[in-house]
Amino acid sequence: MNKLLGYKFILLILFVGLTVSSASAHSYSMTRINDYTNADDLNLEPECARVNYWLGTVAVWSQDFYETETDVEETDFGSSNSGYTGLDSADFHYHTGHGTDEIGYTSEICLYNWVSYSSTGDVQASEVEKKWDQDNEWVLIASCKVLKDHSEWAKALKYSHGILGFSTEVPVSTALVDSFFDETINENDEICDAWLFATVETFDTSVTAVIVADTDDQFAYDHLNGQGTVEPDESPDDSLYAYNSWEC
SS3 145: coil
12 domain residue, yes or no: no
SS3 79: coil
205: number of Cβ within 10 Å: 10
62 vs 232: CA distance, rounded Å: 22
108: number of Cβ within 10 Å: 25
Looking at residue 4, its pLDDT comes to 40
228 vs 232: CA distance, rounded Å: 13
Residue range 56-96, pLDDT digits in tens: 999 999 999 999 999 999 999 999 988 899 999 999 999 99
Whether the model clears a pTM of 0.85, i.e. scores above it, the answer is: yes
83: number of Cβ within 10 Å: 6
Number of domains in the chain: 1
90 domain residue, yes or no: yes
CATH of the domain at 216: 3.40.50
Q: In the chain, which residues have pLDDT < 70?
A: 1-24, 104
6 domain residue, yes or no: no
113 domain residue, yes or no: yes
Q: Can you give the residue range of the structural domain that contains 206? A: 26-247
228 domain residue, yes or no: yes
1 domain residue, yes or no: no
13 domain residue, yes or no: no
Looking at residue 102, its pLDDT comes to 85
16 domain residue, yes or no: no
CA-to-CA separations, 102 to 34, 125, 155, 160, 170, in angstroms, rounded: 20, 14, 20, 27, 16
Provide the edge-to-edge strand list for the sheet that holds 62-68.
Answer: 62-68, 27-32, 92-96, 138-142, 162-166, 208-213, 242-247
Verify cis geometry, omega within 30 degrees of 0, for the bond prior to 236.
Answer: yes
